[in-house]
Amino acid sequence: MNSAVQRSYSTVIIGGGIAGVALAYFLARNGETGIVVLEANELASGCTQGSLGGVRQQFSTAPEIELAIRGRNFWTTFESDFDYPCTYYQDGYLLVTGKPETLAALELAAQAQRAAGAPDVEIISADRITDVAPWLSPEGLLGGSYTPLDGRFNPTDGLYGLARAAKNLGVKIREHTRVESINQANSGWLVEAGETISADRVVIASGLSAPAMAKPFGVDLDITPLWLHCGYTTAVAVGQPMPLMIDLDSGLIIEREGEGACVTVSDPTFGPHGKNAVMEQFAELASVRAPIFSEVGMRTTTSAAFDATGGDGHAYVGEIEDGLWVFAGFDGHGTMQGPALAQMLANLMAGKKDPVLDVSMFDPRRIPHGKAEWIRAAKN
């Protein structure tokens, strides 16, 4: 390896997902120059690829709700703000349960969402579920939480739009550039990536690879892969509303995809080779929860992992050494909340305090005290 410094940048961002590219964009929009994004494979090839693209305000803690509202505002106006095709499908979001304790927790979360300014949050009884999702069976359910203004978008479209905007502001994006090490230098940092790159600032935004990159600096990031195996069906419930539905008791997830649907069962027990088991479990669960799916076929399936976190459920965002930052661990919410967190971080780097959020709660070196945020797109 050539140890001579061949390139020099002000900021090196490691990771070409929505979070890393959004950070590059907001830094450049704040007037910074000399920014490069290094992606080991191709843009959107990591956690962004595994995202369902859901946008929801349904969280249980004030900070996550605030980020969710900002994220929804970002994606609903993305096409007009960035002049780039990225449709926001306002299909709504529906969380259902048959457990009294989970429904009570959803009611408390709804109160927190309304208090934080989230619009149109409804707690609905089992007999109203078919009003918003006619294809869904209320058998065994007690009710759920419904937000009609929420929805979904295509994460790849969003990422490419952000990348174009960042490039237009002078950001360099280098794909197929794998970072091998990060080393402190007298006046900054040296990043080894097939060549030696010098930087004043380095940001680890590499998703599932972030723990290994942060560990040499004494930081243990509780980030592990949660595999999502999705099936894409033929046409189903055409003309009927299909909010993005999560059965919190089983992990069953159904969302609209064209005239068909994207379906999965999100459960931490399924590993990278669990596709067949997931599709079998989907068929079993859907026979009770959504019998209409027994009449459809599967056009294709996909498998990808997102960055599940332990601890308190909040992301890891902050400086771990002078000039070395972490921006990772979104618990599967990186496409939804990544731009909001990226703007917060870009402002923080510019010395601007967030008017609402206490950034210390995202400190990568923090010691979590229990699970704060519990609502996730998985079996809860």
Q: Is residue 170 located within the same domain as residue 305?
A: no
Cα(9)–Cα(7) distance, integer angstroms: 7
> 218 and 319 in one domain?
yes
Neighbours of 365 (CB within 10 A): 15
Q: Residue 70: inside a domain, yes or no?
A: no
Quick one: pLDDT at residue 2? 45
Q: Write out residues in the chain with pLDDT < 50, as ranges.
A: 1-4
Q: What is the dihedral of CA 179, 184, 185, 186, to 10 degrees?
A: 160
142 with 236, same domain: the answer is: yes
Cα separation values, 185 from 55, 102, 192, 195, 263, Å = 41, 51, 12, 15, 48
What is the pLDDT, as a whole number, of residue 1? 42
Q: Are residues 233 and 297 in the same domain?
A: yes
Cα-only R_g, the chain: 21
Report pLDDT for 370.
67
Q: What angle do CA 221, 108, 336 make, to 5 degrees?
A: 45
In the numeric block, which tokens belong to residue 202?
A: 């380095």
Q: Return the closest-CA partner of residue 147 out of 15, 278, 262, 54.
A: 54
Residues 327 and 341 in one domain: yes
**Residue 257 pairs with which residues in a beta bridge?**
260
**pLDDT tens profile 293-302:** 998 999 999 9
One domain, residues 281 and 343: no
274 shares its domain with 301: yes
Domain that holds residue 347: 5-50+156-222+311-362
Q: Are residue 172 and residue 297 in the same domain, yes or no?
A: no
Chain-centroid distance, C-alpha 251: 17
> Do 340 and 327 share a structural domain?
yes
Residues 212 and 302 in one domain: no
Q: Which of 269, 288, 309 is the last residue of a domain?
A: 309
Give the pLDDT confidence score for residue 6 in this predicted structure.
59
> Is 68 contained in some domain?
no
Q: In the prediction, which pLDDT does 3 show? A: 46
Q: pTM here?
A: 0.94
3-class DSSP state for residue 204? strand
Beta carbons within 8 Å of 144's beta carbon, 6+ residues apart: 94, 95, 96, 97, 103, 106, 123, 124, 129
Q: Tokens at residue 254, please?
A: 């159904």
Judgement on whether residues 200 and 217 belong to the same structural domain of the protein: yes
With beta carbons less than 8 A apart as the criterion, state whether 226 and 304 touch.
no
337 & 208 share domain = yes
Number of domains making up the chain: 2
